[in-house]
Every structure is written in structure tokens, then in C-alpha cells.
Structure 1
């Protein structure tokens, strides 16, 4: 997008804004652990009232480890928290089922299966709405085998604004400098069980990120 903007660039607050049409200060989902406050209405609820069949497939994360079906959706496929890239367990309409394979591929299959189910109904005048939310691309970046090593050894031209110099910071907000070594900073990213200080290879990290994105194309 040439001109895109989000008020809160974090998974759950952004998802809550999409589903409610509200800013974070109103829907109150301020982080990835916060559940949706009671009484909150999602726009798919209005669609159901208008005769739509509604489905949600993918990452939810509002409420962290709670993967139970949410209101407003006739069909539900999700997983707890961030989920896993390989061999995930999905909650399908209240029943958990384990799968073999890559998360994004399996979610796509689930979405297509539901579209095939509602397709004939929609052609008879009953519309449908489907929202799909992939796990990718979250750390630790794990591409499917078909995309692994695609960018290995490729040179990365980093922007000048990435330089860790006082001259560079003259034109940037102070928080950019202060967060450089934070969990979302480029010199000490949140790496979970693989946490090291600093990140062993930022080039490798970026290559893995790009390879993981390919699973969504």
C-alpha cells in the first residue's frame, strides 16, 4: 500500500479495531493478552442479523491462550495464542483437532473447504462473510520447506536510517533510539527460547522472514 496507517501496530489491538471499527481506547484490547471486554460487538454479528453466514479461520489471540469460538461467527477455526508453524492443533467449532503440515497451508485448506460449503447457499441468495488471519509472519520465522533457503546468501541493502549513529538519530524520534535494544528492537529482538544478545545474524533473520512471507502469496 502506498499510504497505510494503523493507530496501534500490534496484532490483537489491530484485529479488534478491524472487527469493531473502533480505536483501541474504545475497544480496550490494549495488548495481545487482553480479552475482548463484555458487551463488545463485532461487525460480523450485524452481518448475521442481516442474513449472512459468517466464518473465521486463523489466528485470533484476543484472550491469548483461549481458542474457543467467538460470537458472531457460524464457523470457527482457530488456535491458542500465536500457534505453531508446523503440525498445529485447531479448534474447529469447539472441538480440537491436530494436523500434520504447515499452518498457513492448513488454514487455507480450511477456508476453501468452508467456501465450498457455503458457495451453493450464497448462489441461492444467502450471502457469506469469511475472515482469514494467518500466523505468519511472526517470530520465530519458519518458512515451509518449499521456500526455505530461497534467499540464503542474498545481499540485503539496509536503509541508511538503520544506522546506529548519533547523526542518524538527529532526524528520528527519541523512542526509536531507546527501543533499539528492546524486545522489538533490531539489535535485540524478542527471540523466545532462542533468545541471544545481540541477535546472532540479522541477515539470516530477515531472509527467514522473507521466505516465510512467501507462504502467504
Structure 2
């Protein structure tokens, strides 16, 4: 059998709970659902650092951020290090990346390991965006999601049909400031989008970090986000609802454009006659708060931010309509690509190939816990630096709350705090039970497991780093 093509589609800040295949209460995504219905939906896929550039670096390298060198948005990616694109390219795959890069530009920070690359500088623009194509700036008329898809389709159509290909199609949307295209500008105009159950969270029973975060719907959205002045004569609670509707509708309009364009890409694979021989993955670089806990943005280890959508179609190996509950991480993506390409996974990669899970198998000893770390202490949205552990039943978070020299982090230490959530009884993470005597044994066990995982991934616990 020929080696499969790999089409990796990644959006920016698209939460799983804004996809109907994940049971969304607020929108429909028929083309994304097509991938899930014809393939597999992962219900426990998590990022190891819920911020754009670090997640992208992890996906490329199969390494945690303290080893790939991109811990924060201010760190530039060192393209001289090994990446999955280089390994695939060296073994005969045609490789391309089109769309958002967000790992720095110039010198070794430009994309490497790609036969073709055309990427947005920084965040890029929604309308009439400039791309850097193989080192040369070019501006295109139109909407960014359409243009990224146009270029991806064009590259597929011009490929060498005798060799497999690896395409990373990276959408800017639905990143802030959530500017929709003309086609979807009035979508949801006459509807009221349901508010999430935790919309009026008062941040009691939590560490101080929750209340300190600067990402509240009622207080921290800017005029560029809302695109209108707040109406007069409304109560503060009514204004909060008004701001939520402004925010979430534009967000979902951006998602609708992504969904349409994913459909175009799937149709292209059908027209080229290669759908059966192509692995199609859709994901996002992390999750996002859609009014959950009264927030927008991400960064926290809380569930809406930590969880990544991850749906995969490969007719030759994945049963349609299958669902996987085992834990998958973004550090696993690179090993998975290599495994499907028939290449050995290098020992230095820290992730695991998801291929057995794709086939519905659960390897003996598969992980039942995962490690997370956010380094950007207080930067932009005031989130405290923290690390933690998630199992299927619990989440343990330690806000060590110091910059510790991380690039771009703010050197303003806060008192350290712990949080423990019993996900079986409190899936919304509203009650910190860390100090509850009934959980004393659980705290000891989870703390030991946290330290074991830190040792396994070669990260340094806060106490050792700071003393």
C-alpha cells in the first residue's frame, strides 16, 4: 500500500464546544462533523501549554516547550532543530505549510523542512492579508480563511502525484478580534446564543488567579472586539449579556467560514480521487473560553482552555463514527505523522503515536495522566504562571506565580496556591477541594504523580528552580 497523504488543518482558538460533533449548544459545523462522522472524534485531547506559539512548536517537534525553546509568545522558534516536516521531507514526502505560522520570522525562525511555505506575518489580517511566501511578501485581496484554502487547494492540485504529501493548512480564524467575512456577517443576527452555565462565575472557592485574570466578558472586551458602543440604559448584567452576544456571534461567524472552507478542501480530495489515501486531521492550537467562567481567551489549565478539538478521517484504517476516550496530547501529533509515513519515531520525541488508538486499540500502559505548564506570568491577560496534572478523574494545579526568567513574563511574584478539582463531581471546576481533609490522600497521590511526570518530561519543579 502506498504511504498516506497527510492533511493537517489547524485553526486558532477554536474550542471543541463550538463544534456540533462535540455536542455544541451554540452552533452547527456540518463539514467538520463530516470528518468526525467518517472517522474518529477524540474526547480527551489536550494541549501541554494553552497558548498559540508554544502549542505550534510542540506540534512541529514532538517536544514539550522547555525543550523546544518556545515557552512563551515572545520566544522565537529555532528552525535548525529537528522537526516532523524535515523528517518527512527527507523521506520523500512533499511538504507545505500555508497560513498562520506565529513562530517568528527571519533567519532560523522562518519555516524549515517545507518545499513550499506561505505564511502570515505575526497574527496576520482577516481582510486583504499579506503573506510571506518563501521569503517574499505578497498581498492578496479577499478574506484570509478563503485565501488560505485557495492556496492549499492550488498546492494539492499542482503536487507530484507520484509522491505522498504533508500539508499543514493553518487558519488564522477564529482568533481575536473575530472579524467575519461578508458571507457570514449576518449569521445569528436574529438569534440569542445561549449563555454557558458558568457565565456568572464569581471566582469564589478558587485560587486568587481566577479572580485576577483580565479576560472577563463584562469588563475586558475592547471596542475593537465589540465593534459598537454599548447601549445606554442597561444594567451591568444586561450589558454583560449584550457584550457576550456581540463577541460570540462574531466568533461563530468566523467558525462558519472555517467550516465552509474545510468542506472545500474535503471536496478537493474527492475530486482528486485521493480521499481514501489521505489522513485528514482537524484541530486547534488549544481551546478557548466562550463565556465559560465569564471569560474569553485561554491560558488556564481549566478544561475549556486545555481541551483541543481533534477529529481524524482515514478510511483505510479508522472506523467511521468512532469515538476515542483515551488521552491524546499535542506532543503526540508528530510521532503519529511519522508512524503513518512508515518512519520510526526518534527516541528524543516525547510524544506517542496515536495510530493504535486510531484503530480502536488501547496499548497496555497508555497514559492516564498528563502534564501541563503555562509560563507567561501576568503577561497580557494577567494569568499566573502554573503547572499541573490532569487524570481522568482529577485535576491538580499549582500556581507558582513567578516569571522565573521566562521571556516576556512579568517579574511580579504572587503567593503560590494549589487547586484540586474532582472532575467526577465538579466537571465545571467551580469548587477547589485541595484543602478538604476528605481529599488528603488524593492530594498526596496526585502530587507524587505530578512530580513523576515532571521527571519523565524533564521539566524542573518550581521549588528546585527557585531555591
TM-score between the two structures when normalised by the length of structure 2: 0.41
Comparing 33-42 with 13-22, which one deviates more in the overlay? Answer: 33-42
The change in CA–CA distance for 1:5 and 1:29 in structure 2 (over 3 A counts) is same
In the alignment, which residue of structure 1 is the partner of 2:133?
92
Query: Which of 1, 21, 46 is the matching residue for 1:5?
Result: 46
- Encode CA deviations 1:74-99: one digit per residue, 9 max, x unaligned: 10111211010000111122222111
Q: Are 2:215 and 1:178 aligned? A: no
**Equivalents in 2 of 1:212, 1:38: separation in Å?**
31
Aligned Cα root-mean-square deviation (Å): 2.6
Which residue is 1:138 aligned to?
Answer: 175
Structure 2: unaligned runs, 5 residues or longer: 1-41, 231-238, 260-467
Q: Is residue 2:184 matched to residue 1:147?
A: yes
Could you tell me how far apart the structure 2 residues matched to 1:189 and 1:40 are? 38
In structure 1, distance between residues paired with 2:51 and 2:156: 29
Is this contact kept in 2: 1:56–1:131, CA < 8 A? Answer: yes
Shift of 1:105: 0.2
2:248 counterpart of 1:214: no
What CA distance in whole angstroms lies between the structure 1 residues aligned with 2:139 and 2:60? 28
Give the TM-score taking structure 1 as reference length: 0.84
How much has 1:177 moved relative to structure 2? 2.3
**Distance across 2 between alignment mates of 1:192 and 1:73:** 39
Determine which of 77, 85, 90 is the counterpart of 1:44: 85
Counterparts of 1:38 and 1:95 in 2: how far apart (Å)?
Answer: 18
- Structure-2 separation of matches of 1:174 and 1:76: 43
Consecutive unaligned residues in structure 1, runs of 5 or more: none
Q: CA deviation at 1:66?
A: 5.2
Q: Aligned partners of 1:36, 1:134: CA distance in 2, in Å?
A: 19
Where do 1:14-163 residues align within 5 Å? 14-37=55-78, 39-63=80-104, 69-118=110-159, 121-122=160-161, 124=162, 126-163=163-200
Contact 1:28 1:36 in 2 (8 A): yes
Q: Tell me how far 1:157 sits from its aligned partner.
A: 2.1
Count, aligned residues: 206
Counterpart CA distance in 1 for 2:74 and 2:224 is 19
8 Å CA contact 1:140, 1:191 repeated in 2? no
Instruction: Judge conservation of contact 2:176–2:225 (CA < 8 Å) in 1.
Output: no
Classify 1:75/1:9 alpha carbon distance in 2 versus 1 (closer, same or farther; 3 Å): same
Q: How far apart, CA to CA, are the structure 2 residues paired with 1:30 and 1:187?
A: 30
Residue in 1 that maps onto 2:244:
202
Contact kept? 1:139, 1:191, Cα under 8 Å = no
Residues 98, 151 of structure 2: 8 Å contact kept: yes
Whichever of the two has the greater Rg, that structure is 2
Equivalent-residue separation in structure 1 for 2:120 and 2:61 (angstroms): 21
